Amino acid sequence: MNTINPMITNPILPGFNPDPSICRAGEDYYIATSTFEWFPGVRIHHSRDLVHWRALPSPLTRISQLNMEGNINSGGVWAPCLSCDNGVFYLIYTDVKSRVGAFKDTHNYLVTASDIEGPWSDPIYLNSSGFDPSLFHDEDGRKWLVNMIWDHRKGKNRFAGIVLQEYSVQEQKLIGPAINIFEGTKLGLTEAPHLYKRQGYYYLVTAEGGTGYEHAVTVARSRTLQGPYEVDPANPMLTSHGRTDLPLQKAGHGSLVETPTGEWYMAHLVGRPVKEKHCILGRETALQRCTWSEDGWLRLASGERYPELQVAAPNLEPHPFEPPAEMDQFEEAELRQDWNTLRIPPDPSWVTLTERPGCLRLYGMESMSSTHRQSMVARRLQAFKCEAETCLEFAPDHPQQMAGLILYYDTQDYLYLRVTHHEEKGLCLGIIQSRYGLYDELLEEDIPLQQGNQIRLKAVIDHDRACFYYSSDEDSSWIQVGEWTDITHLCDESPEYIRFTGTYIGLCAQDLGGTRKHADFDYFRYTMV
């Protein structure tokens, strides 16, 4: 056992990093996670020791790979699968166009690269029969796609099982019949299939119970690829269900990796509620150490089925990475990779770091309700206690022009400290909130500001609440704006339907009149307290 750095601390990928797919290539470990409507598509993290992780460039950076303009909330990229075979990386992903109601339009694609940092190919279309596709490389060289299949019909089990179909590398398409190899267990909602082969058995690892508080990992096995698959008699192999005392909830959606020395780990999804069942950071990624029982079933090394905050690290040399800088002074020509944009890629027509060197310039576009063209640059909220700060220069001349600092979940839920123009007050500052789709302005009256000055804006987050501050001078003290505000609505749990992303914090500008008024941001600082 590694005595220098013996423990993995969960979650290993805090903040919005759901649906992990883990793989090893030589001495390097990679995890791909879902990004939903945020661009670029698919988040990839890298490690050499399974303890320390760093973000790599995302693979889906072009509209030819991922066109999400108009995608619904919590649409876009679902549950990628990353694998490596004979020096080639294979990335399978879903672009979800509709998901609410009887139907789901879920288009599945494959991209490849010889280097994990790209360039990645344009996509090969696979199918649209369901979501959570995964590619299995068998020992004989053949490749097989598995995905859950969606049945829209009334009275049917909509999670209709796991379907298997061969993929031809030469023809770049699926070939042969699609066979339903596993209909799931009584836990239901069978999804997220991954196939592995060990000691003569094919192991099918799936998620069941839904991605909420009844989430679980189910394992089944068969001597033949096409089944029938026998379910683990101790199923579920991993879950948090029934243990409300656990700090890691929603455990499920697992994938496996083996070290060169034969140690096994499962990457899986978790959530950490801050109040009741509200997970403002979204669904995160954790790692559990695994063993195999004498009769060949996968078990957690703890002997339990519940996720642990601390697990033993593998016998690998520690390999820490330099943490990203807290301050971004916008001195580079391109955005740092911790920034994301909504649905559309960053484009000089609306975001630029070169037009005014040392500043991020945003040209105002559509409102926070838009699923098409929002001018927003944001990063994941990754800690329950943190601060974010920026400095804004903005000269609006109409109430339809706004810019500022935003806490954003989706078009239904956000909290926004914004600068705008008032017909009588001129330049002013206020707070906009949307809570489950209901718009509100949290100050009785906006605060007048001096025209032509830069203004510093700050957000302080403490678990289930947030507070905003401003300063009109670099040497001035911070002035509180409004009261501490409940932010538990910035979470997966909505009264209408479950959502799948997480809270972001960032910078945005709107010009609802279409005149594209710009805002300049001098810096952005994100600090975990």
Four-way CATH pick for 7-312: 3.40.640.10, 2.115.10.20, 3.40.50.300, 1.10.645.10: 2.115.10.20
Among residues 415, 380, 413, 407, the alpha carbon closest in space to that of 495 is found at: 413
Q: CA 80, CA 89: separation in Å to the nearest integer?
A: 13
pLDDT by residue for the chain (529 residues), tens only, comes to 444 557 999 999 999 999 999 999 999 999 999 999 999 999 999 999 999 999 999 999 999 999 999 999 999 999 999 999 999 999 999 999 999 999 999 999 999 999 999 999 999 999 999 999 999 999 999 999 999 999 999 999 999 999 999 999 999 999 999 999 999 999 999 999 999 999 999 999 999 999 999 999 999 999 999 999 999 999 999 999 999 999 999 999 999 999 999 999 999 999 999 988 999 999 999 999 999 999 999 999 999 999 999 999 999 999 999 999 999 999 999 999 999 999 999 999 999 999 999 999 999 999 999 999 999 999 999 999 999 999 999 999 999 999 999 999 999 999 999 999 999 999 999 999 999 999 999 999 999 999 888 999 999 999 999 999 999 877 779 999 999 999 999 999 888 878 999 999 999 999 999 999 999 999 999 999 8
DSSP string, 10-25: SPSB-SS--S-EEEEE
CB 418 within 8 A of CB 436: no
Residue corresponding to tokens 């909509």? 158
Phi, psi of 422 (to 5 degrees): -115, 145
Residue corresponding to tokens 């940092």? 117
Question: Domain segments of the chain: what residues?
Answer: 7-312, 327-528
Same fold, 7-312 and 327-528: no
Q: Which CATH class is domain 327-528?
A: mainly beta
DSSP-derived pairing of the beta strands 310-312 and 298-300: unpaired
User: How distant is the alpha carbon of residue 270 from its chain centre?
Assistant: 12
| Strand ranges inside 26-104, DSSP E | 28-33, 38-39, 43-47, 54-56, 76-85, 88-98
Catalytic residues: 19, 191
Among residues 384, 236, 382, 251, the alpha carbon closest in space to that of 308 is found at: 251
Give the type of residue at 151: D
